[in-house]
Amino acid sequence: MDMDRLLTDRARAINGSGIRAVFARRASMRDPIDLSIGQPNFPVPAAIKRAAIDAIEHDRNGYSVTDGVPELRARITPWLRADVGWDVAGPLGMLVNNGTSAAIALAFLALVGPGDEAIIPDPYFVMYPHMATVCGGRAVACDTYPDFRLTAERVEPLITPRTKLILLNSPSNPGGVVANERECRDLLDLCRRRNLVLLSDEIYDLFTYPESRTARRADGSDCCPSPARMPGAEECVLLVRGFGKTYGVTGWRLGFCAGPRALIEQMTKLQQYLYVCAPTPLQLGAAAAFDVDVGPQVREYQRLRDRVVAHLSEITEVTTPGGAFYAFPRVPSRLGITATQLMERCAERELLIVPGKAFSSRDTHFRLSYATRPETLDRGLAVLTDVLRA
Ligand SMILES: Cc1ncc(COP(=O)(O)O)c(C=O)c1O
């Protein structure tokens, strides 16, 4: 069969994820020190597991309505009110998704058409540029090196009449960078002025360390800044949040988004045909997540973050992550190698890291995840020290 004639340019234009390539290397290792994985290492809180098991046992295994089971929506709605001050009624809508990825994919499908442009940060989370390609559009990368901050000043010159959206990811993957209040406000003002959607991917919102929790929720608790909390946000912010990273249920494929009703309605229609609904019993499990405090996990990751920064800043440049559970250090230039070559050298010593090329047009940095046991992190840091000092 001449499959070549049948396959689309769209499918061919997309490379496999660089993270998956590291995964593949793992298969041939005996006792890998895995600092490549982008998911929490703690066990899923018992109440969440119990709620999903109960749902299965009580025969809640069928389809749900497209926008999410009422029990979960009834928890998200007051949470959004308390957190960002949004009432998801009237001009604002909300949709439960099959992971944060689905919310992002649906937003691109609803907004980006052939020839349209989406401005994304570089470095970026792996799916962002490909979503624009899938839609027949183009991702315009905003170079945020060396501090990885997406600012209105850096973004504005990239806007053209074809621009549809600006993507902000805070706390970010791979840098762990948290946008400050001014950066959020300036990006929001820019989007309002230029009639653009500000897609705010906040999948790591609860994993923010104290010095970056400079904003306040309506209930007075501290949190990371979000453009959604600012005046005028309802007009143009699409807020995307997830359950997978926060509660260790990445395999459940659950997230939600909220924003202008006109946009959410189009995304809901697309979801009907692409995903139908998020898994019903797992949505019911996620409803129990709103009673879980992840504070102890955040404090543990803060200790590990401090360990990584203290260790690596003696050897190379590393921006202190304000959130998430990744660091994105630079490959010291005196080594004269790319991050992919560094990854190979580390893999020979059974250490897995992800080269910057997976997240960027550059291959000068590497991502390590410290969402692991302290002993594993220490073994990994020891190998890295050897390789970086070689
Ligand atoms: C910044 C960012 N956005 C979105 C996702 C996708 O998450 P989900 O598993 O909820 O689809 C990830 C996963 O690594 C991520 O790091």
Contact 240, 200 (CB under 8 A): yes
Mutational test site, ligand 1, from 39, 95, 203, 354, max ligand atoms within 8 Å of CB: 203
Alpha carbon of 329 to ligand 1 centroid (Å) = 20
Residue 219 confidence class, pLDDT cut points 50, 70, 90: confident
H/E stretch holding 239 reads strand 237-242
Residue 16 has pLDDT above 90, yes or no: no
What pLDDT is attached to residue 118?
98
Cis omega (within 30 of 0) on the bond before 146? yes
Kind of pairing between the strands at 222-223 and 215-216: antiparallel
Residue 21 has pLDDT above 90, yes or no: no
Measure the CA–CA gap between 303 and 3, rounded to whole angstroms. 52
What residue ranges of the chain are covered by domains with CATH 3.40.640.10? 46-291
Residue 37 has pLDDT above 90, yes or no: no
Alpha carbon of 70 to ligand 1 centroid (Å) = 24
What residue ranges of the chain are covered by domains with CATH 3.90.1150.10? 3-44+294-389
- Helix, strand, coil percentages, rounded to 5, for the chain: 45, 15, 40
In Å, what is the CA distance from 49 to each residue of 46, 55, 62, 86, 254? 5, 10, 18, 29, 14
What pLDDT is attached to residue 30?
84
Provide the CA 37 distance to its chain's centre, in angstroms: 13
What pLDDT is attached to residue 15?
80
Determine the atom of ligand 1 nearest the C-alpha atom of 250: 9
Measure the CA–CA gap between 375 and 362, rounded to whole angstroms. 31
Determine the atom of ligand 1 nearest the C-alpha atom of 254: 10
What the block records as the tokens of 38 is: 């982008």
pTM of this structure: 0.96
What pLDDT is attached to residue 161?
98
Determine the atom of ligand 1 nearest the C-alpha atom of 172: 1
| Ligand 1, CB within 6 Å, residue ranges | 38, 99-101, 125, 169, 173, 201, 203, 242, 244, 250, 255
Which one-letter amino acid corresponds to residue 275?
A: Y
Ligand 1 atom 16, closest CA: 173
Burial class, 248, CB count within 10 angstroms (exposed 0-12 / middle 13-18 / buried 19+) = buried
Alpha carbon of 38 to ligand 1 centroid (Å) = 9
Alpha carbon of 336 to ligand 1 centroid (Å) = 32
Architecture of the domain spanning 3-44+294-389: Alpha-Beta Complex (3.90)
Q: What is the CATH number of domain 46-291?
A: 3.40.640.10
> Count H helices, E strands: the chain?
16, 14
- Mean pLDDT, rounded, for 129-156: 97
Alpha carbon of 199 to ligand 1 centroid (Å) = 14
| Angle (CA) 93 184 310, round 5° | 120
Burial class, 1, CB count within 10 angstroms (exposed 0-12 / middle 13-18 / buried 19+) = exposed
Q: Running DSSP on this structure, what letter comes out for residue 321?
A: P
Segment 226-253, tens digit of pLDDT:
999 999 999 999 999 999 999 999 999 9
Measure the CA–CA gap between 325 and 322, rounded to whole angstroms. 9
Name residues whose C-beta falls within 8 Å of residue 315's C-beta, 6 or more positions apart in sequence: 332, 384, 385, 388, 389
Alpha carbon of 280 to ligand 1 centroid (Å) = 20
What pLDDT is attached to residue 94?
98
What pLDDT is attached to residue 390?
81
Residue 31 confidence class, pLDDT cut points 50, 70, 90: confident
What pLDDT is attached to residue 125?
96
Alpha carbon of 23 to ligand 1 centroid (Å) = 17
